[in-house]
Amino acid sequence: MARTRFVGDAGLTARMTLVMFLLGGLFVALVVVLAAVVGGGVGILIGVAGIGFAVYQWSSSDKIAMRAMRAREVTPQEAPELHGMIDRLCTLADMPKPRVGIADTSVPNAFATGRSPDRAVVCVTTGILGLLTTEELEGVLAHELSHVAHRDVLVMTVASSSGIAAGMLTQGAQYGGLGFFGGGRRDNNNGLPVWLVVLLVSLVVYAVSFVLLRLLSRYRELSADRAGAYLTLKPAALASALQKISGGMQRVPERDLRQVSAGSALCISPISLKGLASTHPPLEKRLEQLARIQGELDRPTA
């Protein structure tokens, strides 16, 4: 975590380290199995492709997210009030100021992305600007800035590479795309078709990656709520903002939601994928945590 005045979260650091270690191990296992059942060339190719994809996501995460959310960077002259809020929060948190962006959509939301605090961007939608009060918006921005300070966006971006590589292999095996690597062989030493072995291994890696990333993503949202609330000392304002955002998205046309759904995992409130597949904890759980923090802050000191 970068040195800022955001409260530390040893649990988040431990979880990010564990997920990166487990996903790295899964990726290595995937490469080894493919090398054994299909050929060493495939293992090397998948390893290089996976590393290359992770590097690409690491270096271009801000551009990819901005493009997915149809956002643009804005100057202090274009959005003076928004820049002013972020200036104050960054001074309060003692952290570098990220770039600032606005997405022209009625979907009320916000997100942060970038490979480091120096390359980060915090973006809000026009929908959220017209929905929240100043205090509520500051609570949302503090939440997003804590993601930058915790560097959890970087971890989520790189960690997703193993699942994406496994998903590509699954599709390739399913549709016979591995034939020129040796997938045309009818069976391996165990008597199973090579494409079936590749399919099963890839599915296992993808499923485990999916579960690990969802668990980490939900925890990091709770961590960002907590850090943002302690920075502003106004957890009730963030709780009010989350309720307004959730209610506001229910009134947004489905077509508009689909246009920005690709960036849902980065947003403060989920746009798609509810229930077990959600990248965010239930709203009730987030509100309960913020209520506890508010009670703690309201408690008179001896």
Catalytic residues: 144
- Exposure of 251 by Cβ count < 10 A (0-12 exposed, 13-18 middle, 19+ buried)? exposed
SS3 content of the chain, % helix, strand, coil (to 5): 70, 5, 25
Q: Where would I find the beta strands (DSSP E) of 9-146?
A: 71-73, 99-103, 110-113, 121-125
Beta-carbon contacts of 216 under 8 Å, excluding residues fewer than 6 positions away, are 15, 16, 19, 152, 155, 156, 159
Question: 178: helix, coil or strand?
Answer: coil
Q: Which phi and psi (to 5°) does residue 156 adopt?
A: -65, -40
Taking a C-beta distance cutoff of 8 angstroms, is the pair 77, 184 a contact? no
Q: Which three-class secondary structure string do you get for 60-74?
A: HHHHHHHHHCCEEEC
Beta-carbon contacts of 87 under 8 Å, excluding residues fewer than 6 positions away, are 97
Of the candidates 165, 225, 135, 191, which has an alpha carbon nearest to the alpha carbon of residue 23? 165
Q: How far apart are CA 130 and CA 148, in angstroms?
A: 24
Q: How far apart are CA 139 and CA 242, in angstroms?
A: 10
- With tokens 């605090």, the residue in question is 117
Q: How far apart are CA 270 and CA 245, in angstroms?
A: 10
